[in-house]
């Protein structure tokens, strides 16, 4: 399994993409992956993505997921705040 991480910076926001070539997220789960207690693994707690989603929201950002067989992309966008100095 390979993981690629990329970043882009814009005037008002920074985006981070995490891409992997794993099996993908099943289509019937994609709309619920940010809900607590939802996991695609038998031993998973279903807390990782909801916690991540909550932290990103607290920073006024967003996280999105697109998935198909052999490619899942998580995109995080966070606002860039101007320095007060």
Res. 84: pLDDT tops 80? no
pLDDT of residue 58: 97
Fold of 3-79: Heat Shock Protein 90 (3.30.565)
Rounded to whole angstroms, the Cα distance separating 38 from 32 reads 7
- Please tell me whether residue 15 adopts helix, strand or coil conformation: strand
Domain extents in the chain = 3-79
pTM: 0.86
Using the Cα atoms of residue 34, residue 30, residue 1 and residue 78 in order, give the sign of their dihedral. negative
Query: For residue 80, is pLDDT > 90?
Result: yes
Query: In the structure, what pLDDT confidence band is assigned to residue 45 with cuts at 50, 70 and 90?
Result: confident
């Amino acid at each position: 399994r390979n993981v690629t991480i990329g970043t882009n910076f814009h005037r008002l926001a920074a985006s981070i993409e995490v891409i992997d070539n794993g099996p993908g997220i099943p289509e019937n789960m994609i709309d619920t992956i940010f809900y607590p207690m939802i996991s695609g693994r038998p031993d998973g707690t279903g807390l990782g993505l909801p916690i991540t989603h909550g932290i990103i929201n607290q920073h006024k950002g967003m996280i999105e997921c697109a998935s198909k067989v052999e490619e899942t992309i998580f995109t995080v966008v966070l606002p860039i705040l101007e320095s007060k100095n």
